[in-house]
């Protein structure tokens, strides 16, 4: 069975600074997607960034970037130039292509942004 | 597109009552998922459908829970009878057919259920 682990329950960052969220996962499959979802207080789940396992290049979306280490099964998220609107719960998730589009989520990391 | 639409947004009921949560997926999406979110257990997959057929219901907690998808544009999650431990936020999500598209799941805003 696949698992996703986020070891940081909460992270705090100063506005305009950078914060990195950790995520590790475990699977015996080789073909999968990895995602980071953001859940603000409105509770809407919003896709932040996605990475395909067969792509070595790290995904980037504006101020959000990932460090994907396939051998280490690590998928961290870096938020640069943090803004007040980045304050939310962040969930790392994995989807095995062979298992339909089911997402397995980590436990989440709460990000606090200090003005 | 209007996105995934869930109703009700909030539901407060008493133990023993029947609860029905509703979901309209994004048009053209063939996969539909029901997730439950609690503080203790995080986000758990309850059941998912592909082309209106239940594919994996191993996450459904017990027989009190049932889900249906009578057509491509509508799904329900029913709890009968409800219990206080069912209190949670229930999310519906949809995606394109597995193996197609980006693999992204699009989530509704969730239904917050409180069972007294």
* Chain A residues within an 8 Å CB radius of B56: 100, 102
Whether A115 has a pLDDT exceeding 80, the answer reads yes
**pLDDT at A100 exceeding the cut of 80:** no
Yes or no, beta carbons of A100 and B93 under 8 Å apart:
no
For tokens 């509508």, the residue is: B74
pLDDT tier at B35 (50, 70, 90 boundaries)?
Answer: very high
What does each C-alpha distance from B21 to A31, B38, B45, B114, B116 come to in angstroms?
34, 17, 15, 12, 17
Report the alpha-carbon distance of residue B31 to residue A100 in Å, rounded: 9
Q: What is the pLDDT of residue B98?
A: 65
Distance from CA of A6 to the nearest CA of B (A): 12
Q: What is the 3-state secondary structure (H, E, C) of B54-73?
A: EEECCCCCCCCEEEEEEECC
Which tokens go with B73? Answer: 């544009």
Mean residue pLDDT across chain A = 93
Enumerate long-range contacts of B55-64, CB under 8 Å, 24 or more apart: B55/A100, B56/A100, B56/A102
Determine the pLDDT at residue B100.
61
Q: How many angstroms separate the Cα of B50 from the Cα of each of B29, B58, B75, B94?
A: 9, 15, 12, 10
pLDDT digits (tens, 9 = 90+) for B8-25: 999 999 999 999 999 999
In a 3-state reduction of DSSP, which class is residue A59?
coil
- Identify the H or E element spanning A53: none
Element holding B113 (H helix, E strand): strand B111-115
With bands split at pLDDT 50, 70 and 90, how would you rate the model's confidence at B1? low
Tokens of A82: 């943090």
Tell me the average pLDDT across A21-39.
94
User: CA triplet B64, B68, B70: central angle to 5 degrees?
Assistant: 155
Q: Per the structure block, which two tokens stand in for B112?
A: 């917050």
Task: Check CB contact under 8 Å for A101 and B98.
Answer: yes
Residue A107: its chain B contacts at CB < 8 A? 42
Distance CA A81, CA A94 (A): 26
Distance CA B106, CA B109 (A): 10
Kindly tell me if the per-residue pLDDT of A30 is higher than 90: no
Condensed to tens digits (0 to 9), the pLDDT of residues B51-110 reads 999 999 999 988 999 999 999 999 999 999 999 999 999 999 999 876 666 778 899 999
Chain B residues near residue A90 by CB distance under 8 angstroms: none
φ and ψ of A86, to 5 deg: -80, -10
Q: Please tell me if residue A107 touches chain B, with a CB cutoff of 8 Å.
A: yes
**Would you call A101 and B45 a contact, using CB atoms and an 8 Å cutoff?**
no
Find residues 3-62 of chain A whose CB sits inside 8 Å of chain B.
Answer: 33, 35, 42-45, 47, 50
């Amino acid at each position: 069975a696949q698992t996703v682990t986020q070891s940081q329950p909460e992270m705090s960052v100063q506005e305009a600074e950078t914060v990195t969220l950790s995520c590790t996962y475990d699977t015996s499959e080789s073909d999968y997607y990895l995602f980071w979802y953001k859940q603000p207080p409105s509770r809407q789940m919003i896709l932040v960034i996605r990475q395909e396992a067969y792509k070595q290049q790290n995904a980037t979306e504006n101020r959000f970037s990932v460090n994907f280490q396939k051998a280490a099964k690590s998928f961290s998220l870096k938020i640069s130039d943090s803004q007040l609107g980045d304050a939310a719960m962040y969930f790392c998730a994995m989807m095995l292509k062979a298992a339909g589009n089911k997402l397995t989520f980590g436990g989440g990391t709460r990000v606090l942004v200090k003005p | 597109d209007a996105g995934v639409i869930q109703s009700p947004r909030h539901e407060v009921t008493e133990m023993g009552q029947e609860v029905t949560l509703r979901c309209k997926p994004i048009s053209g999406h063939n996969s539909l998922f029901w997730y439950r979110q609690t503080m203790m257990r995080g986000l758990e997959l309850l059941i998912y459908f592909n082309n209106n057929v239940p594919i994996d219901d191993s996450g459904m907690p017990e027989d009190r829970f049932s889900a249906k998808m009578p057509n491509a544009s509508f799904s329900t999650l029913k709890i009968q009878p409800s219990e206080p431990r069912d209190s949670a936020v229930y999310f519906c999500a949809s995606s394109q057919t597995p193996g197609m598209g980006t693999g992204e799941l699009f989530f509704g805003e969730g239904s917050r259920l409180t069972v007294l």
